[in-house]
């Protein structure tokens, strides 16, 4: 569903990605792991069109989307949930959700909204509240729900567990597994990510240093201690 080949992205003289190859298979969760500064966020920003690559290609569902504008990529079916969610705190929960699918037909938006509220019941109880009044976990649910409002076939998420209590993190990861979408999940919570992922990649200094089934990464003591911190 999503393939990155020989991807390189730089910020001035600093190369954040250096020849990255990875693939996210349809309908499963693929985890991208690594320490701060490994290039994980840059990878997602490049895939979603927020950063321009210096080399390489991004292919989505068989189509080269390298260099496309972010809104065109969303309409193609690939949604991005950035680090810390990026919800608009001044707007209500309902308005944040509506913005996620603003360009879709009203009937499609309403159907997806019902599905999102079933996935995240706390949002249904807070539709008229400003997003800025939500807890961290509720904001993350809202950010994922807003992305789902676009009707995506694939979602890329940047650190959805950041700063959340373990119980909230477990709930969000469980929902991701239930979605049956193609998910590319960037996480520092390596154990949690690998527990729900089918396949995993480990980045270090902009390069892929490991590429294996998630269970194999969990069982590799040397790799876990060297790159994943557990």
Q: Is the pLDDT of residue 148 over 80?
A: yes
In the chain, the domains with their CATH numbers are: 2-85+153-228 (3.40.50.300)
Q: Please, what is the average pLDDT of the chain?
A: 91
pLDDT at 36 over 90: no
- Per-residue pLDDT at 227: 67
Upper half-sphere CA count for residue 76 (Cβ side, 13 Å): 21
Q: What are 161-201's pLDDT values in tens digits?
A: 877 778 888 888 888 888 889 999 998 788 888 988 999 99
Write the CB contacts of 47 (distance below 8 Å, at least 6 apart in sequence).
2, 4, 58, 78, 80, 156, 184
Tell me the residue length of the chain.
230
Task: Return the pLDDT at 91.
Answer: 96
The pLDDT score that the predictor gives to residue 107 is 95
Once rounded to an integer, what is the mean pLDDT over residues 131-145? 93
Local confidence band at 230 (pLDDT 50, 70, 90 cut-offs): low
What is residue 21's predicted lDDT score, i.e. its pLDDT? 97
Measured between alpha carbons, how far is 216 from 230 in angstroms, rounded to an integer?
14
| Per-residue pLDDT, 229 | 67
| pTM: predicted TM-score of the whole model, two decimal places | 0.90
Structure-block tokens of residue 194: 């690998």
Of residues 169 and 9, which shows the higher confidence score? 9
Kindly state the percentage of the chain with pLDDT values over 70: 97
Whether the predicted pLDDT of 127 surpasses 70: yes
Inform me whether the pLDDT recorded for 26 exceeds 70. Answer: yes
């Amino acid at each position: 569903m999503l393939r990155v080949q020989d991807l390189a992205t730089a910020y001035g003289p600093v190369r954040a990605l250096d020849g990255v190859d990875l693939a996210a298979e349809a309908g499963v969760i693929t985890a991208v792991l690594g320490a701060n500064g490994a290039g994980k966020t840059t990878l997602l920003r490049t895939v979603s069109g927020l950063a321009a690559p210096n080399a390489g290609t991004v292919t989505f569902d068989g189509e080269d989307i390298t260099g496309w504008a972010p809104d065109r990529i969303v309409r193609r079916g690939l949604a991005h949930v950035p680090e810390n969610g990026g919800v608009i705190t001044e707007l209500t929960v309902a308005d944040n959700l509506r913005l996620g699918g603003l360009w879709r037909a009203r009937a499609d938006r309403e159907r997806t909204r019902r599905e999102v509220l079933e996935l995240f019941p706390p949002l249904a109880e807070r539709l008229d509240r400003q997003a800025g009044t939500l807890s961290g976990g509720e904001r993350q649910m809202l950010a994922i729900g807003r992305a789902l409002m676009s009707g995506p076939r694939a979602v890329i998420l940047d650190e959805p567990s950041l700063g959340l209590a373990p119980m909230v993190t477990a709930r969000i990861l469980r929902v991701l597994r239930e979605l049956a979408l193609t998910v590319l999940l960037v996480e520092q919570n390596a154990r949690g990510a690998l527990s729900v992922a089918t396949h995993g990649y480990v980045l270090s200094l902009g390069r892929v240093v490991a590429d294996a089934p998630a269970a194999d990464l969990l069982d590799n003591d040397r790799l876990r201690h060297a790159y994943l911190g557990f």
